[in-house]
Amino acid sequence: MEQNEFMEAIMYVNGVRRVLPDGLAHMTLLEYLRDLGLTGTKLGCGEGGCGSCTVMVSSYDRESKTCVHYAVNACLAPLYSVEGMHVISIEGVGHRKLGLHPLQESLASSHGSQCGFCTPGFVMSMYALLRSSKNSPSEEEIEECLAGNLCRCTGYRPIIDAFRVFAKSDDALYSGLSSLSLQDGSNICPSTGKPCSCGSKTTSEAATCNEDRFQSISYSDIDGAKYTDKELIFPPELLLRKLAPLKLGGNEGITWYRPVSLQNLLELKANFPDAKLLVGNTEVGIEMRLKRLQYPVLISAAQVPELNALNVNDNGIEVGSALRLSELLRLFRKVVKERPAHETSACKAFIEQLKWFAGTQIRNVACIGGNICTASPISDLNPLWMASRAEFRIINCNGDARSIPAKDFFLGYRKVDMGSNEILLSVFLPWTRPLEYVKEFKQAHRRDDDIAIVNGGMRVFLEEKGQQLFVSDASIVYGGVAPLSLRARNTEELLIGKNWNKCLLQDALKVIQSDVLIKEGAPGGMVEFRKSLTLSFFFKFFLWVTHHVNNVNPTIETFPPSHMSAVQLVPRFSRIGKQDYETVKQGTSVGLPEVHLSARMQVFWSICWLAEGP
């Protein structure tokens, strides 16, 4: 394989070009940044769960010829994984001298920081959202982008309040009022939605209204210039640069390979059968750092085009195994809009499951193949791949490919039907058929960014015979109840051929209890709770399917309205809080809601805590 004979490994950090020397394959992006003195990015949990190490990565997507911006956890990102990319840390967003970014200003003035440790991470998640959105984000998108950031002292209310001002407003709320005058004689402006003197009656007339909806924040203490004039651009050098393979070393004999074609990757796999393949490194990184596993040869498959391919055709969707989970979510959202509703029941189930899968920073780097091949017994997605009749395409070092149904791929605890000379190439998800329904389930301690206690994927394919519906095929799969994602085979068998009615529900609930056995003392604990979850998931599935088929065939017996909450999706609520407190003037700041003195430093400054390493 042609290696990086002529190529120097580089990246940009906050607009500054950096040559990446050989010998740093053991290093994370976080360690590198902090070694540069950029200590605003923090090391919190070190496993992608708290968001205090969030930075924004910008890369050039050669396929769409656009720059993409996304938040990542620097604590898990291997340094060389951002080769050829631009990394913006909190120090590159806004600065006391250059002026705070409006996000930073808003967070500081809304009392959104207390100890300040998590603050840069929150700013970076929100910054990446703003830079990657064409329009102002919705409040739901803001909440979603912050799901991977934890705060332990300030509280989320002031943080969300600080960022909510960047959300789009519902213009319809205001345009309906466009002809109304307030009692004091002034108008509601259809453009800004605020009392205004521009006199416009319609949104288009008001387009020129220069009374901003959100008062612009003073951006620079020094020259008052608008912040957008100072936003770091994507370095032109990186637009022109050709993607080339890399081979770089690190401590303890680690070698990092970055193949850029499937052929390169398969050759490497043939030469180094024990090499560890990685993409997002969100699992391998934890194995190496926290579990101290050693992988001397690392092959980053993230940039292999064949593993990132997308193919939507008449039978379904085929996605490359290195596709990031956030890309998968975008793809599913797109096809759900474009395809007939009955074809996308499985896609909708994946959308709901992915919404609550880890945090945004993880989903931006973790790939489909990483989740499948880790074969975690609590994987949120594997029960769904199994239930929705997905097929996995495996390729060996000689280029021979084979397909295996997802339901047969998982063999035991973190054990899959794949040899050491094979890799997962792609995943095929068939469209669902009329009267075929797929549903996801997940119960965790908290909704956002948490591992499931029990999860599941269920599918039923119904057939109409006269006025009745019979089960032609079914898949019932649970996670979190066994060492692997578990098919409830006896339940599946019981369902097939049965009439879809309340007797079927009662019979299935009985069989599930013997089909899914969680023994006393089983890993994970909470045995009774987990058992009851397996039953309640099926109960919800029954109600949900019944509700849907009732829309198609109203003769099917339905259920009382009091059960409707079981079939409704859980939205991501926009959290609104209010705090009332008495201000007691004592001649000092004590008791007054004043912005604390460190706030403006915490939102940009590389504060280094005494307990922190460099």
Ligand X SMILES: O=c1[nH]c(=O)c2[nH]c(=O)[nH]c2[nH]1
Interaction site with ligand NAI (CB under 6 A) = 47-49, 276-284, 286, 301, 321, 358, 362, 366-367, 369-371, 373-374, 376, 423-424
Contact set for ligand X, span 413-452 (CB under 6 A): 451
Residue 379 engages ligand X in binding (rule: CB under 6 A): yes
Partner from ligand NAI, ligand X, none binding residue 321, C-beta < 5-8 Å depending on class:
ligand NAI
Q: Which residues of 500-531 are buried (b: 16+ CB within 10 A; e: fewer)?
A: beeebeeebbebbeebbebeeeeeeeeeeebb
User: DSSP code of 324?
Assistant: B
Gap between the Cα atoms of 120 and 42, Å rounded: 8
Smallest gap from Cβ 72 to ligand NAI, in A, equals: 11
Q: Which residue's CB is nearer to ligand NAI, number 366 or number 406?
A: 366
Q: Which residue's CB is nearer to ligand NAI, number 227 or number 409?
A: 409
Contact set for ligand X, span 380-419 (CB under 6 A): 380-381
Smallest gap from Cβ 26 to ligand NAI, in A, equals: 16
Query: Could you say which of 33, 72, 358, 599 contacts ligand X (CB under 6 A)?
Result: 358
Stretch of residues binding ligand X (CB under 6 A), selected from 184-192, 379-387, 494-502, 518-526: 379-387
Partner from ligand NAI, ligand X, none binding residue 373, C-beta < 5-8 Å depending on class:
ligand NAI
Q: Which residue's CB is nearer to ligand NAI, number 318 or number 507?
A: 318
Strands (E), 535-590: none
Stretch of residues binding ligand X (CB under 6 A), selected from 189-197, 292-300, 327-335, 377-385: 377-385
Q: Which residue's CB is nearer to ligand X, number 320 or number 383?
A: 383
Q: What is the DSSP string of 3-31?
A: -SSS---EEEETTEEEE--TT-TT-BHHH
CA dihedral 35, 360, 443, 560 (to 10 degrees): 160
The 447-486 site mask, x for binding ligand X (CB under 6 A), equals ----x-----------------------------------
Gap between the Cα atoms of 299 and 247, Å rounded: 9
Q: Which residue's CB is nearer to ligand NAI, number 53 or number 279?
A: 279
CA dihedral 238, 240, 243, 246 (to 10 degrees): -60
- Other CB atoms within a 10 A radius of the CB of residue 489 amount to 14
Strands (E), 325-373: none
Which amino acid would we find at residue 49? G
For 80, 249, 305, 379, the CA distances from 243, given in Å and listed in that order, are 13, 19, 11, 33
Residue 357 engages ligand X in binding (rule: CB under 6 A): yes
Q: How many chain residues bind ligand X (CB under 6 A)?
A: 8
Smallest gap from Cβ 352 to ligand X, in A, equals: 13
Partner from ligand X, ligand NAI, none binding residue 33, C-beta < 5-8 Å depending on class:
none
- From the centroid of its chain, how far is CA 423? 24
Residue 364 engages ligand X in binding (rule: CB under 6 A): no
Query: Could you say which of 321, 360, 371, 491 contacts ligand X (CB under 6 A)?
Result: 371
Partner from ligand X, ligand NAI, none binding residue 380, C-beta < 5-8 Å depending on class:
ligand X
167: nearest Cα among 144, 127, 149, 140: 140
Closest residue to ligand X, Cβ-based? 380
User: DSSP code of 92?
Assistant: G
Smallest gap from Cβ 190 to ligand NAI, in A, equals: 44
Which residues fall within 8 angstroms of residue 327, CB to CB, at 6 or more apart?
A: none
In this structure, are residues 110 and 149 in contact, taking their beta carbons and an 8 Å threshold? no
Residue 549 engages ligand X in binding (rule: CB under 6 A): no
Query: Site residues (CB under 6 A) for ligand X?
Result: 357-358, 371, 376, 379-381, 451
